[in-house]
Amino acid sequence: MFELSKDHEDFRAVVRDFAETEVAPHIGAWDRDAHFPTDLVPKMGQLGLFGLVVPEEFGGSQGDDGADFTALIVAIEELGRVDQSIGITLSAGVGLGINPILTYGDDEQKERFLPDLVAGTALAGFGLTEPEAGSDAGATRTRAVRDGDEWVLNGAKAFITNSGTDITSVVTVTARTGTNPDGTPQISAIMVPSGTPGLIVEPPYRKLGWHVSDTHGLTFQDCRVPVTNLLGAEGEGFRQFLKTLDDGRIAISALAVGCAQACLELSTDYARTRQAFGRPIGANQGVSFQIADLAVMVDAARMLTYKAAWLKDELHLGRRSMQDVKQAASIAKLYSTEAAVTATRIATQVFGGNGFMEEYPVARFFRDAKILEIGEGTSEVQRMLIARGLGLPA
């Protein structure tokens, strides 16, 4: 059911070659220097990576049936197999940057932002998380007050990917715009272009991992944008962003599969060549059994991820429900990300002392993996969603 088409496998080969020629030779230095490779993003755009789920009228390559989310998942996995930071740049650039505008924007908003985002000459961010609103995204404190034909924003966002690069063009943010009849905050989504007065991009974070990924906090101080920058209907922002996260969970799952696949390949190669007590360490069951477990985890994670992506494409075709996608996304995200963290621990152990050295890629994957269990909904949130999907009481 989930076997990839020949076109998808051919596309995988193209992306793998790109990752190994354009990323792999440089990633060690980029990671060491926490350097965001701005020049790489247009190359990703030229390869068509940002336009896989975007219609041709905006520069993308999506077919008439609107279904090729699976191709995006293939690309994220292959980039993530070489480096997680580059993988999340694509994942966030499409899932969190392009997708909200594509799904909820009007024609003018799409025409204004999408062509450059698809071409890779611009990036967009997604501002949901706040210093006091992480998993509890409904606790958003950022406010937007209508003043004539403008929204005036005040507040702060935290941990926002692709928000402070030289080519960042816009960040879509959630903000309170009023109060619902039941007393809950009315949350709307508003696009804030880069360079808008009152938008302050904070210094980049010093992170455990994802050193090559661009991540900043954002502060809004009487930041004014036109009322036409409202994305979708007023008060629909929270629902829009939750739906956006469903797709993002499948993308993070693909990133985790790429991480685990890299650990499997690196561990297998090392165990064949590393000698101890006169023979390769892979001859010892203590090592070989761990690598065998790794292979099982990779296969299971990949199947869950591609099932979720297939269901997403089936949803486009009207053959599956949103609940099918939501449940599969949470299951894939939970299993794959926890498997990736375990995979990096196993790989580091196989490499022994060398696994603790930054010269070896497993050290970078070890640092990068932990965030996978946190971003796009923590493992605890995924378990909660899965339980609710089974009909258990909220």
Of 22, 78, 338, 376, which is the active-site residue? Answer: 376
Are 156 and 217 spatial neighbours (Cβ–Cβ below 8 Å)?
yes
Cα three-residue angle 332-333-339, rounded to 5 degrees:
90
Are 336 and 301 spatial neighbours (Cβ–Cβ below 8 Å)?
yes
379: its two tokens:
């493992």
The answer for 11, left when phi > 0, alpha when psi is -120 to 50, beta otherwise, is alpha
Rounded Cα distance between 106 and 204, Å, is: 32
Rounded Cα distance between 38 and 41, Å, is: 6
31-61: b (≥16 Cβ within 10 Å) or e: beebebbeebbeebbebbbbbbbbbeebbbb
Answer positive or negative: Cα dihedral of 311, 72, 377, 174.
negative
Q: Which SS3 state, helix, strand or coil, does residue 356 take?
A: helix
224: its two tokens:
């004014």
DSSP H or E segment with residue 190: strand 185-193
Phi and psi, residue 55, nearest 5°? -60, 155
Q: Give yes or no: 380 in active site.
A: no
The residues annotated with a catalytic role in the active site are: 376
